[in-house]
Amino acid sequence: MRSLRLRILGGALAAALVACHSAGFQSSMLPAASSVADAISPQRCKERVNDTLAKLEECIQRTSLWRHLAKFQQIANENPGPHGHANRDTGTPGYAASVAYVAKLVRAAGYKVTIQRYNYTKEEVAGKSHIDYNLIADSPFGDPRSVVVIDAHLDAIYGAGMLDNASGSTTILEVALNLAKTHTRNRLRYIWFGGEELGLLGSRYYTTHLSPAELKRIVFDVDADVTATPNFDILIADPANAAKVKRFPRNVVPQSRIGNQYFGDFFNAGGVVSRPAAFGNNGTDSLSFSLTGVPNSGILTGQDCCKQRWETRLWGGYRGDYEGVVPGFHEACVDKPNRWCDNLSNNDPFVLELTSKAVAYVTFKLANRHLP
């Protein structure tokens, strides 16, 4: 435990330093791994059984994370949208190529892969294919009657969507690959949802098309939505703060506390401040799980504008934009039409590594705990 705490602390200190510099790294630069991560290669990590938290945390490395993120950027670049910019939006070739990339990796790692196809109609996407995909990867291990879902949305909006949400998609991909050979008490299911940016279309379709028996088998959901913000906060997506909390079945809020607690435990161990997001899980795919009675938690690091002075006292950094132009005001990249700047350089590798370790920690704890 002491060595694990030191690893977490090392990552936390690195993340704290990030808050003191401006917006991210150049897309052509691959960041160096930490000295701890250098102890074992990413390939060796994915070949061994990471059956302890110490092993798993050692294997969540920023070099490997950044390679996946860079691949999503490459996919976006190779599939420009109608305006000529890099694109991975729902209903585009860039999104389909992103699905194919993740599917190939998790299938090769031993997961049972399902591509869930569904149709959608929405005014703002008129003229696109109106066919979307969720990618589902089930571990061969663990009790299939007790499933923990780890999710992120894979789609973008207005371009490459590298922070929102190739970052979260990368986080759960790396966790999945490093737990591929690990036996757990509960079955792990990783889902990359489509259509999130158009109104949680993929997660809503998935949760509402489960049979009652299938839904009952899902005991928890962990959401990763924006995990590499340069001018970051550390926010926990607690469903208790959601605008629609009164519509959730009564079990959701109390049974979600264990996931929130695990996120808090991870950051507390490294001396990093975390806070429940004031908006709960509004606008994230975990909201779809809340509405169907599945307890959930998640991680977010902030987007758009504006970071307040009280936040800089907690996490450092600058008032104003969380990403995009930092320091700056109202010059962010995420969710901004005609800016086309949510690219690789809109992510910070130190923050990505820290939050990915947190998701790995929470996933491992929930995977091996009896859940109601």
Q: What is the DSSP string of 206-228?
A: HHHTS-HHHHHHEEEEEEE----
Range of the domain at 154: 2-367
Q: How many domains does the chain have?
A: 1
pLDDT confidence of 16, banded at 50, 70, 90?
Answer: very low
- Residue 39's pLDDT is 75
- Residue 2's pLDDT is 35
Asked whether the bond before 59 is cis by omega within 30 degrees of 0, the reply is: no
Q: How many CA atoms lie within 13 A of 363 on its CB side?
A: 35
**Would you say residue 345 lies in a domain?**
yes
**Would you say residue 70 lies in a domain?**
yes
Interatomic CA distance for residues 241 and 269, integer angstroms: 24
Residue-wise DSSP of 71-110: HHHHHHHHS--TTSS---BTTSHHHHHHHHHHHHHHHHTT
pLDDT at 255 over 90: yes
Q: Are 362 and 44 in contact (CB under 8 A)?
A: no
pLDDT at 327 over 50: yes
Task: For residue 288, give the CATH number of its domain.
Answer: 3.40.630.10
What's the rounded mean pLDDT across residues 161-186? 98
Query: 32-41, 72-81, 359-368: which has the minimum mean pLDDT?
Result: 32-41
**Would you say residue 31 lies in a domain?**
yes
What's the rounded mean pLDDT across residues 310-329? 97
Instruction: Name residue 35's amino acid.
Output: S
pLDDT at 269 over 70: yes
Query: 3-12, 56-65, 97-106, 246-255: which has the minimum mean pLDDT?
Result: 3-12
Query: 82-86, 203-207, 244-248: which has the minimum mean pLDDT?
Result: 82-86
pLDDT at 30 over 50: no
pTM of the model: 0.91
Model confidence pLDDT, tens digit, residues 104-138: 999 999 999 999 999 987 654 557 668 999 999 99
**Would you say residue 29 lies in a domain?**
yes
- Residue 179's pLDDT is 98
pLDDT at 33 over 50: no
Q: Which two tokens stand for residue 358?
A: 């947190």
Interatomic CA distance for residues 116 and 193, integer angstroms: 9
pLDDT at 233 over 70: yes
**Would you say residue 372 lies in a domain?**
no
**Would you say residue 99 lies in a domain?**
yes
- Residue 127's pLDDT is 77
What's the rounded mean pLDDT across residues 321-342? 96
Based on C-alpha coordinates, what's the Rg of the chain? 19
Q: What is the mean pLDDT of the chain?
A: 90
Q: Which two tokens stand for residue 280?
A: 């709960």
**Would you say residue 9 lies in a domain?**
yes
